[in-house]
Structure 1
């Protein structure tokens, strides 16, 4: 699928790419409605519909990912509630093995995530991805989500990379579309971002079920 000699920089999404999206999906669709109804009242089914409508209205925007925004909107401490189910945070199959292989290669590996810093911190407490990465960038640092083509221009302006020699792996098709519009050459998506849901078919980008499909990566020359 890849010629690793054509790649110098690997940009990796976190949720649904390195880490199982089940944690996030479970939190927003099940745990949050339950805790909201316990704290603010309301019948659980109606609360769930209301919250999902409210959340979906922000899809693709920075607010969609911003825990400060949702804490204000819902009058809840979202990071505290997210910690209540932090035991569900897990890597996707072979993702950590892939990171280890990248660390021994000539490539620079960056985590580029839409996650809010407070949510990122919770995940890094469980899996310290700093061990494998040269850089961690959140879209909040650049004040726009990865779905915005201008995000990639801003990222390159702040931390240089050559789009022609860059690989982006991301489960979000809109993010991949924006990266392609900017000019990133190598684009791969994930067939099963949430391990509890069925694998996706007929995707518009080359797709992997497990990171083992991208191995081996040539080791760095001594």
Structure 2
């Protein structure tokens, strides 16, 4: 499923890959519509009927992920509202074991996320995730989402890598397809990003897992890279 022996770098998505996507799904589909209804004195269903199409229209763009964009467009403090349900932020199963095994293997681990810096900071405060990886890059630093094929070339400026020795792990099929098109040698899809929802169907071409325990044994057998990698 993964050829660990050929790798130097592992790029990791955050939401839905390392962290439970339930937090984000609950916020955008339940909490935000409820607070939007309160703010604008709307029936809850009317609020959803207004918000969901508005949000979905931005899917795949940087605006889809941009807290500043939605705060301005909705005249609401999106980061503040996210903090109201911050207790729902948490790791997916087996993630800390997987990250510990990555570190022990000597592989370089970099979170590559579309998450905006403001909610990213909230999630890091809640999880301490930054201490478990070598680096974190937000697509907002590059001005384009991971779905954009040009993202991967621009990423070289912040997290230099060799595509032929890199693995990308993500729960988004469009992101993984973008990474493959950019020459990333190995891609791996996560099928169960939200602990409160059923797993999705497999991608026809990209290897898939439900949880990291499926690939932990092989990773732990990998010999550490020599120092000075």
- TM class by smaller structure: over 0.9
User: Gaps (5+ residues) in structure 1?
Assistant: none
- SS of aligned partner of 2:189: strand
- Aligned counterparts of 2:225 and 2:121: Cα–Cα separation in 1: 34
Residue equivalent to 2:67: 67
CA contact (8 A) 1:104 1:219 kept: no
Corresponding residue for residue 43 of structure 1: 43
| Partner deviation per Cα, 1:37-76 (whole Å, 9 max, x = no partner) | 1112111101101100100010000000000000000000
Q: Report the equivalent of 2:224.
A: 220
| SS of alignment partner, residue 192 of structure 1 | coil
Q: Does 1:98 align with 2:102?
A: no
Counterpart CA distance in 1 for 2:225 and 2:141 is 34
Q: After TM superposition, give the deviation of residue 221 of structure 1 in Å.
A: 5.6
Task: Please state whether the residue corresponding to 1:112 is helix, strand or coil.
Answer: strand
Residue correspondence of structure 1 range 55-204 to structure 2 within 5 A: 55-204=55-204
Deviation by residue 1:126-176 (Cα, 9 ceiling, x = unmatched): 111121111100000000000000000100244321111100000011101
CA contact (8 A) 1:19 1:90 kept: yes
For 1:221 and 1:107, how far apart are their aligned partners in 2?
7
Deviation per residue, 1:79-113 (Å, 9 max, x gap): 00000001111111001110011111121000000
| Aligned-partner Cα distance in 1 for 2:37–2:223 | 52
Q: Is the 8 A contact 2:191 2:202 kept in 1?
A: no
2:105 counterpart SS class: coil
Aligned positions, number: 222
Cα distance in 1 for partners of 2:56, 2:50 equals 10
1:211 aligned onto 2:212: yes
State TM-score, norm by structure 1: 0.97
Structure 2 unmatched runs, 5+: none
Does structure 1 retain, via aligned residues, the 8 Å contact 2:166–2:184? yes
Distance (Å, rounded) in 1 between the aligned partners of 2:172 and 2:201: 14
Cα contact 2:137–2:158 (8 A) shared by 1? no
